[in-house]
Structure 1
């Protein structure tokens, strides 16, 4: 079994290979406390809905990167990026940022008074994966705890993040939905109308769900999230710590419309470009939960020779954007033409929202992006 670096996503900037660091980690069992609600045994749970990101938000959750053991000398710069992102999102909706108690004061100074910093033990910044996935259940907000395990125990330091979902739900008095599936929030993308997009590599995975077939996992996802149609992509195994989350590959822009990550024209073919090509083939023949074919809009990456970020793990993908109330936050990579093109594509498909480009080179160097660093809590349910 391979070991992995702390990076959440490795994108090859050239034909060069990826250096991997040895990391271990103890297995983490799912929570099994008495208040946990278990979904019924068959099909999608009636009355339960996993809403789309473009719907109303009550707040955005984020986390303060805590450990030099994970980020080493990059930690101050990564914190600067997270603080800037938190301040930007807070201009549009409430932001709650969790920080270790001994780091909370410094986090508050960095983020400013508009961001609410809550002392709670965390390990890293990837709130998309560690915060519960929220659903509406017969008009009540609930959170699905997907038993975060450090991406299948690839990251050694993740004990606090494993407990974050349950701690958040308890502190906010939100009912917790248990599931036997081990996954992360970045594994899932939905149109809010019953369709779920997932990469097989990140969920049908022996590190996370040993012995479980795709059909078994799909059944559990339908129960937990209330979705009725799951569209699977092959993804990429064992090349990054997430095993290729879908939120760096395909995103919904509206029901029936998806945005697909595309490598920069002329870039060398690699596992990631082949993954995008396979996803395009799947989408060509796919229909959503309502039987509609899917319109596919390509969102090309920037020129790797013109971006300002560096590092083997750098994620130069615009697809990892975040939709907030009245705004959409997208990376700005320094290739002026590609940045402008991506912003215009997003402006065309999210009309009425401010398109806010942000430089996040330090976050991206760790293998993630804006979406990976944020997690939305639903607000007023859609009619």
Structure 2
């Protein structure tokens, strides 16, 4: 789920070509791809449910920092509000805003169907990466853990020059939100982001190595150590490691813009359309090729569904199209619908909507979120975190 940094944007996109800053060249992160190491502590009853399981609510965060967003802030806020209002048609939405002034603005823009709170401070809107991951035990229990968010390996600072302190509230958001929610909380022994890992709720995880086996997040830790910790925290027993892209975007190649679990044993992969730079096209195909040969924790050969990204972005100026996150896969699942984006490519938009609706057996809503996907470089999945029903 990566785009490059817009040249007219003063250090605010989450995704960017490092060429803009003269940094290191990008490379596909390859190597052994199929895991299967048992967690250090055998997975017990606790597990993170798949996102298609029933939700109690969706958590979001209101962007209000001009240090991070500059003069793009109002456009990002408009897309966040639009998305929150749509999700609220299908399940409760709680929006965390940074103080009373931001909360008042959020309430005005989101409307009465979205609950806005000001008692959980936030730095920015990327709740998928900063918020807690909730677990259930099958007996009515709920707890949560955090992944020690460090501003995408401090890439926000090294890529764009945003002060590290601009994300201080998000570094501790997971624990504070869990406390507010009355849920027991623990910190994982690894650093990463929720957008960097996919889970089926039935024992299998998938992630790109480029996000996790990376010294900007987990220096000195081996892939086996990182895998064991993630399996233990998620209540899983098998990891499928996927090739990723290092150095082309702030996230180092989050999986949630390319491949998603539909449910146990079923994944969907977006193959790049004509507007995506070649590095992402190659990576999407490499991810697909691994998954079609993979089995999950139950020994099932994965069913791999595919869609294609847009070939045109008619609303986006030609010079900005290569920087745009043209991912239908960065959708958010709600109790009654799946909410994704549309890009103005009529044929590809319709095909993606049909395929996702058929896969989930739920209606699909497509919103115009050009500011979030373009100027923000993230999508509907990036800015939401579901809390499961127990």
CA contact (8 A) 2:313 2:343 kept: no
Query: Which residue of structure 1 aligns with residue 280 of structure 2?
Result: 272
CA deviation map 1:307-337 (0-9, x unaligned): 5474653201101011101110011111111
- Tell me, what secondary structure is at the counterpart of 1:371? coil
State the Cα deviation string for residues 149-182 of structure 1 (Å, max 9, x = none).
Answer: 1111122321010111111011111001221100
Alpha-carbon shift at residue 8 of structure 1 (Å): 2.1
Secondary structure of the corresponding residue to residue 172 of structure 2 = helix
In the alignment, what sits opposite 1:298?
306
SS in structure 2 of the partner of residue 207 of structure 1: coil
Separation of aligned partners in 2, 1:42 and 1:62: 32
**Counterpart in the other structure of 1:8:** 14
The answer (yes or no) to whether the contact 1:308–1:334 under 8 Å persists in 2 is no
Please give the secondary structure, in 1, of the residue aligned with 2:136. Answer: strand
How far is the alpha carbon of 1:19 from its aligned partner?
2.5
The alignment of Structure 1 onto Structure 2 pairs a total of residues equal to 353
Matched residue SS, 1:60: strand
Conserved? CA contact 1:44–1:224, under 8 Å: no
Choose from 45, 50, 58 the match for 1:47. 45
| Residue of structure 2 equivalent to 1:107 | 106
1:186–1:245 CA contact under 8 A, matched in 2: yes
Give the match's secondary structure for 1:158.
helix
Q: Partner of 1:242 in structure 2? A: 251
Using the alignment, how far apart are the partners of 1:263 and 1:127 within structure 2?
26
Q: Distance in 2 between matches of 1:306 and 1:290?
A: 44
- Report the structure, 1 or 2, having the larger helix content: 2
2:186 aligned to which of 160, 174, 177:
177
Do the aligned partners of 2:58 and 2:385 also contact (CA within 8 Å) in 1? yes
Length-normalised TM-score, structure 2: 0.86
Determine whether 1:321 maps to 2:344: no
Structure 1: 5+ residue stretches without partners: 23-40
Once residues 109 and 225 of structure 2 are traced to their aligned partners in structure 1, the CA distance between those partners, rounded to angstroms, is 45
CA deviations on 1:2-59 (whole Å, 9 max, x unpaired) are: xx8432234x8xxxx852499xxxxxxxxxxxxxxxxxx8244311111110100000
- Map of 1:169-318 to 2, 5 A cutoff? 169-265=178-274, 270-308=278-316, 310=320, 313-318=323-328
Once residues 71 and 249 of structure 2 are traced to their aligned partners in structure 1, the CA distance between those partners, rounded to angstroms, is 21
Return the alpha-carbon distance in structure 2 between the equivalents of residues 268 and 318 of structure 1. 13
Q: Is the 8 A contact 1:135 1:143 kept in 2?
A: yes
Q: Distance in 2 between matches of 1:154 and 1:318?
A: 25
SS of the equivalent of 2:323 reads coil
Q: Greater shift after overlay, 298-307 or 128-137?
A: 298-307
Q: Assess if the C-alpha contact under 8 Å between 1:44 and 1:225 holds in 2.
A: no
The alignment's TM-score, normalised by the length of structure 1, stands at: 0.88
Match of 1:59 among 57, 60, 64: 57
State the match for 2:383 in structure 1: 373
Pairwise CA RMSD of aligned residues? 2.0
| Aligned match of 1:153 | 154
Asked if 1 retains the 8 angstrom alpha-carbon contact of 2:63 and 2:124, the reply is yes
Asked whether 1:163 is paired with 2:168, we answer no
Q: Distance in 1 between matches of 2:370 and 2:56?
A: 28
